[in-house]
Structure 1
Amino acid sequence: MSSPLPAHEVPAGSGPVRRLSRRRLLRHTLTGAGALLAAGPLSGCASPASASGASALSVWDLFQGGDGMLMDDMIAAVSQGPEGPGGARGFEVDRTILDWGPSYYTKLAMSAAGGRASDVAAMHLSRLAGYAPGGLVDAFDLDLLAEFGVTRGDFTPAVWSRTQHEGTVYAIPLDVHPFIVFYDKKAAETAGLLDSSGALAPMGSPEALLEAGKALAEATGESGILFGHVTDTAQNWRLFAGLYAQTGAEFTLPDGGPARIDVDAAVRVVTLMTQLFDGKANPNNLDYNGALAAFTSGRGGMAMLGEWELPTLKKSGIDLGAAPFPQVFDKPAVYTDSHSFVLPHQDSPDPARRREAHRYVAEILKQSLTWASAGHIPAYQPVLAEPEYAALDPQSSYADAAKVAVLDPPNWFAGAGSNFQNRMCQPLQSALLGNTSAEKAVRQMVREADALLRQPNPVA
């Protein structure tokens, strides 16, 4: 069992959802509803040329729920007839929504390898290392993007550095979605954790974080800091990875191994995690839904969650605050990932169509103020400078997390929804539940990493 997925990411098995262009909808209507139904769960792998016609730009993504509707709005904004925003030509977009998780990335790889790739696709930036080296995605033309108003200077170095393989750019980030802290402003004020502006004050040390948990528990009369991790395939890794990066230590996984992990730093981090979630001030046995429910019902002063939970938390009625994950070790760092755009490999891409794909990516980035309403930090920095973004509360309060973003190690087996995260989470869960020591948990993490490094990359 894994974390309840963000609103834009749904479990595998529900099948792809096609949002049809007007032209394709008309054609399917004329040929009968039976033909549409017969497409089945693999219809997302259809050839863009045969399924969409030459004029429609084929786009694959994994955004459903609230994020899916926001992406609809963004696509609509850039598709307004022959004259789109700012007088630019509009787009006819054939959007296919596929299941989030391993199934999405499997279909993306198969489509690229089989010559049936879409023009543009969404990808977690943490998964790029499994695609760029094997030639499953094509490089972006930065001069062409610049022609449409997007340059490397529009992104934070922390995120931009992960868009490349061997110095070539293969992904353009749409957002940064970090693991942050949400807090009840009233409880935090009572606990003395706010600064003079009413924002969460810096902590600066592990001891300060532990004291904050105790103070919040006293303020709420129940729990201090809530964190759901039991039977989860990502949460423990998110917490560990961010804290470990704050120590300044490297978590490097060279091809073939062995893993280069600072065991002493890792033990310090896991020890802090077990001290923080000791089952007293802060529960140590919550699953994801349990932690979320406890926070939304006022039974805790702070919750460690992904920013994608913002829409849910806003509905709770809590006087909600948010902040980048507190720095408690030597170096500022926040664990994160990024939804990005890639160009799935095509053997002989049409130059005009590829040009339109670049223009589409650029125009969607310029609409990312809409995307920010769900909590995501726009990766395209000019949007962050807009007064409308500064007015978003609490989104603008954790925007600086993008400057110190830390992603998974750049390995083919790591990244969002990967078995790597799950295998890291298991020993961490044992430590938090008191079933093993921090030292043994870290040794098991190293063994798991070494085992993965011995596995060959299936697309190399």
Structure 2
Amino acid sequence: MASIDRQFSRRRLLSGAAALAGGGLLLGCAPGARNSAEDLTYWHLMSGGDGVVMAGLVDAVNGLNAGFRATQTVLAWGPPYYTKLAMASAGGRAPDLAVMHASRIAGYAPGGLLEPWDLDELAEVGIHESDFPPLVWQKGMYDGKLYSIALDTHPFVLYYNTDHARKAGVTSALKTMDSPEEFVEVARKLQQVTGKHGLSYGYLGDGSQMWRLFYTLYRQTGAEMKLVPGSPADVDEAAAVKTLTFVRSLLDDNIASRSGDGGTATSEFLHGESGLFFGGVWELPVLKAAKLGFDAQPIPTLFGTPAAYADSHTFVLPRQSKVSPERRKHVYRMVAEILKRSVSWAGAGHIPAYQPVIESPEYQQLKPQSNYAGIPEYVNYDPDAWFGGAGSDFHRYFAENVQNVYLGSGDPAAGFDGFVKRLNVLLDRPQPV
């Protein structure tokens, strides 16, 4: 398989990498040592519990003695990782395989920083489009080619304290509520049980947390958000105002703290001081370690249309100036073997993207993971934009304009308008790469 044949100018590459890093500091990066076609280099940003599980998956694949051995390099999450990956790809000296959030593909694929996957070669190792949820597979596509293969979907969900729910008499209501009014009623009943808050939601100083809840509920209204370079942002202001007004109504220091941050919200829920908790599935290991009586489910459809914010960890082929067909064949085998073993990845809360794993008895027995396994069927990723995605400044722009709305001192319409104006400035600029 030949590498992408493109001519790059150093100035464009440097400016592009700076933009892709979301304003992060440009850092130099040396390519991994390559002693032979059997030695594969693999970059990712998994740390903590995720890092331990990923290391176990890599060890398991290496243990197959399939003619190659992968060496993983773990880099700091966010701008440092994406800057180094962009620079390595720009110079054609990237690793054989890397992990990238699905929300970042729009910033890399158009500029030639990634190489597409060959569907025939994927089929040879047993990986097919039909093995993935349609929306998850489609997110990896650009210009008719597949640039990323999802390992998982990691959505924003609703956790609840099972003991508090039983005492408040809302266990059934949690499964059936379908309006903002019903959600508020359940939260208030739980507050009466806890004596503190009905809901924990930490967002202060965290644009990603603000965005995750907003975009889930905004999309539940049926509204869309399209960001096309050269055109103003296509948004539904009425739906945005409706959503922001509802979120602010929850932050009344009764249902939920008006100014809670992520750590405070998690601690509050862990100590039984609330009955509900908005959080990512990545919070699951911490909750399980606390031996708390809890369960999890998709965020209820409160505004008519099923929707859930999520991102995905995906496998990508960073651009290389020279590609060894033998090494590339090993990469395909490595990815296939990790996907087929990804039930262990579900232990961290993530939803495996490879559907044969989801359909397995082993996964179906996982609780609460299997309770929200249907989310990929209606998942909502960040709008495609070269300046968006995990580790970029997109969520920070949202926070700069909307945090005061959440705090109760800002006007929802004015806050959202400020965010849209910031997007329009970026959309008016040419894509750096």
**TM-score (normalised: structure 1):** 0.86
Q: How much does 1:251 deviate? A: 0.5
CA contact (8 A) 1:80 1:90 kept: no
For 1:168-183, list aligned pairs within 5 A.
168-183=145-160
Q: Which residue of 2 aligns with 1:125?
A: 102
Q: Partner of 2:19 in structure 1?
A: none
Q: CA deviation at 1:447?
A: 1.2
Match of 2:76 among 90, 96, 99: 99
Tell me if the contact between 1:52 and 1:94 (Cα under 8 Å) persists in the aligned partners: no
Which residue in the other structure is 1:47 paired with? 31
- Given candidates 339, 347, 350, the residue that maps to 1:365 is 339
Aligned partner of 2:258 among 284, 290, 296: 284
Instruction: Give CA-to-partner distance per residue, 1:331-361, whole Å, 9 cap, x none.
Output: 1010000000000011331112111111111
Per the TM alignment, residue 103 of structure 1 is displaced from its structure 2 partner at its CA by 1.1
The CA deviation at 1:454 is 2.3
Distance 2:91 2:60 in 1: 32
Partner of 2:20: none
1:63 aligned onto 2:58 = no
Q: Within the alignment, does 1:338 sit opposite 2:315 as a pair?
A: no
Residue range with higher mean Cα deviation, 208-217 or 306-315: 208-217
Letter in 1 for 2:232: P
Instruction: Name the structure 1 match of 2:322.
Output: 348
Point out where structure 1 has 5 or more consecutive residues left out of the alignment: 1-11, 14-40, 83-88
Of 46, 63, 68, the match for 1:80: 63
Query: 1:323 and 2:307 equivalent?
Result: no
Q: Is the 8 A contact 1:163 1:172 kept in 2?
A: yes
Count of residues in Structure 1 that have an aligned counterpart in Structure 2: 409
Report SS of the residue matched to 1:256: coil
Q: Tell me whether 1:139 sits opposite 2:116 in the alignment.
A: yes
Q: Report the equivalent of 1:160.
A: 137
Would the aligned equivalents of 2:37 and 2:68 in 1 still touch at CA under 8 Å? Answer: no
Name the CA shift for 1:94/1:245 in 2 (closer, same or farther; >3 Å). Answer: same
1:128 alignment partner AA: I
- Judge conservation of contact 2:38–2:67 (CA < 8 Å) in 1: no
Cα-to-partner distance string for 1:93-150 (whole Å, 9 max, x where unaligned):
1111111101111111110111111110000000000000000000001111111111
Deviation at 1:431, TM superposition (A): 0.6
Q: Provide TM-score, normalisation by structure 2.
A: 0.91
Cα distance per residue 1:285-314 (max 9 Å; x no partner)? 101111111111111101101100111111
Q: What displacement does 1:317 show?
A: 2.3
Deviations 1:434-457 (A, max 9, x none): 111111112112112112212332
Q: Check the 8 A contact 2:229/2:430 in 1, yes or no.
A: no
Distance 1:69 1:90, change over 3 A: farther
Shift of 1:52: 4.5
State the match for 2:89 in structure 1: 112
Take 2:263 and 2:430, find their aligned partners in 1: how far apart are those partners?
A: 36
**Is 1:193 equivalent to 2:176 in the alignment?**
no
Percent identity (aligned): 45
How many Å separate the matches in 2 of 1:155 and 1:103? 30
Measured after TM superposition, the shift of residue 281 of structure 1 is 2.2
Q: 2:177 aligns with which of 199, 203, 206?
A: 203
Q: Secondary structure at the match of 1:176?
A: strand
Aligned to 2:14: none
SS at match of 2:120: helix
Looking at structure 2, the residues matched to 306 and 138 of structure 1 have their Cα atoms a distance apart, in angstroms, of 30
CA contact (8 A) 1:273 1:432 kept: yes
Letter in 1 for 2:119: L
For residue 81 of structure 2, give the secondary structure of its aligned residue in structure 1.
helix
> C-alpha separation between the residues in 2 aligned to 1:46 and 1:237?
35
Query: Residues 93 and 321 of structure 2 are in contact (CA less than 8 Å); yes or no, is this contact kept in structure 1?
Result: no
How many angstroms apart in 2 are the aligned matches of 1:63 and 1:114? Answer: 24
Secondary structure of 2:374's aligned partner: helix
**Partner letter of residue 383 of structure 2?**
P
Q: Runs (4+) of structure 1 moved beyond 4 Å?
A: none
Equivalent residue in structure 2 for 1:453, among 418, 427, 433: 427
Using the alignment, how far apart are the partners of 1:250 and 1:154 within structure 2?
Answer: 27
Mapped partners of 2:250, 2:67: distance in 1: 52
Q: Which amino acid aligns with 1:410?
A: D
Residue of structure 1 equivalent to 2:16: none
Residues 342-389 of structure 1: CA distance to partner in whole angstroms, max 9, x if unpaired?
000113311121111111111110110111111111010110111111
Residue aligning to 1:249: 223
Tell me which amino acid in the other structure corresponds to 1:126: S
Name the structure 2 match of 1:414: 388
Q: Is the 8 A contact 2:220 2:303 kept in 1?
A: yes
Q: Which residue of 2 aligns with 1:24?
A: none
Please report how far the alpha carbon of residue 279 of structure 1 lies from its aligned counterpart in structure 2 after TM superposition: 2.1
- How much does 1:324 deviate? 1.0
**Which structure's relative contact order is higher, taking Cα pairs within 8 Å and 6+ residues apart?**
2
Aligned to 1:18: none
| Unaligned ranges ≥5, structure 2 | 1-23
